[in-house]
Amino acid sequence: MGLINRNYNSTLFITIRDGKIIVPVEQPTDTSVQRTNKMGRTVNEEQYEQLNAVLQRVELRKNDKYGNQWCVHLMDSATLEQFSLQLPESGGNTWSLLNRLLNVNKDEEISIQPYCFIPAGETKERRGCTVRRMDNTKVEPYVTRDNAQGCPDIIPVEFKGETRYDDTARIAWLAAKFTEKFGEQQAQSNTPQNAPNIVEPDTDTEPTDLPF
């Protein structure tokens, strides 16, 4: 990511928004962007097109205050810097990335490239992540239209006159798959209890790019 002069003994908490890798910073920098978040606070953040790092594990972090979050733990192979990519429990970015990480081996180096765009002739925004291996080949989704791999369907439900999606069974299935992939001990939350929350309320909560 081109980050320098950092203490690599700590974990850098990052997220995805609007097709970018977001790195919060306390003070403005030459490359940071300032904005007002959904909670009305002014924040500073640096934005990156992609992240190259080694996949270590994926966990579902329980959080009664902010809502459950997925934490994708990665490491820079050159500097050994640790990253915790925080994602909302549900949403287009979340499903797109996790569905591909099921096809990535532990300790494999990958490139994560978020996207966010409105296709020509359409009005709905599409969000997700492209994942590539270091030979530049794309990591394909684990769950596809032709092979659900046992993944439960999301269930459309009516809520206050609007169609929402219940993906409770899918989230439980994902959590079980990552436990199987990384082992029970690693799949349990190792994220510090005082880890900052950088996933804003209602961020990317409606699945896009459904069903895959």
Looking up residue 63, the CATH number of its domain turns out to be 2.40.50
Q: Is residue 149 part of a domain?
A: no
The number of distinct structural domains making up the chain is 1
Tokens, residue 97: 């990335």
* pLDDT per residue rounded down to tens, the chain (212 residues): 444 344 445 789 999 999 999 999 989 999 999 988 888 888 999 999 999 999 999 999 988 777 899 999 999 999 999 999 999 999 899 999 999 999 999 999 999 999 999 999 999 899 999 999 999 999 999 999 999 999 999 998 888 888 888 999 999 999 999 999 988 644 444 455 555 555 554 444 444 444 44
Burial, 180: exposed, middle or buried (Cβ in 10 Å; 0-12, 13-18, 19+)?
exposed
Query: Which two three-digit tokens encode residue 46?
Result: 């640096």
Please list, in sequence order, all residues whose beta carbon lies within 8 angstroms of the beta carbon of residue 186, skipping any fewer than 6 positions away.
Answer: 57, 59
Closest Cα partner for 209 from 115, 68, 71?
A: 115
Q: Which H/E stretch holds residue 101?
A: helix 92-101
In a domain, 98, yes or no: yes
Question: Within a domain: residue 155?
Answer: no
Is residue 41 included in any domain, yes or no? yes
Domain extent, residue 78, equals 11-141
pLDDT of the residue at 197:
57
155-179 as b/e: b if 16+ CB within 10 A: eeeeeeeeeebebeebbebbbebbb
Cβ neighbours around 114 below 10 Å, total: 23
**Residue 53 belongs to a domain:** yes
64 located within any domain: yes
Residue 187 CB contacts under 8 Å (≥ 6 apart), including other chains: 57, 58, 59, 175, 178, 179, 181
Residue 76 counted as domain residue: yes
Instruction: Classify residue 71: in a domain, yes or no.
Output: yes
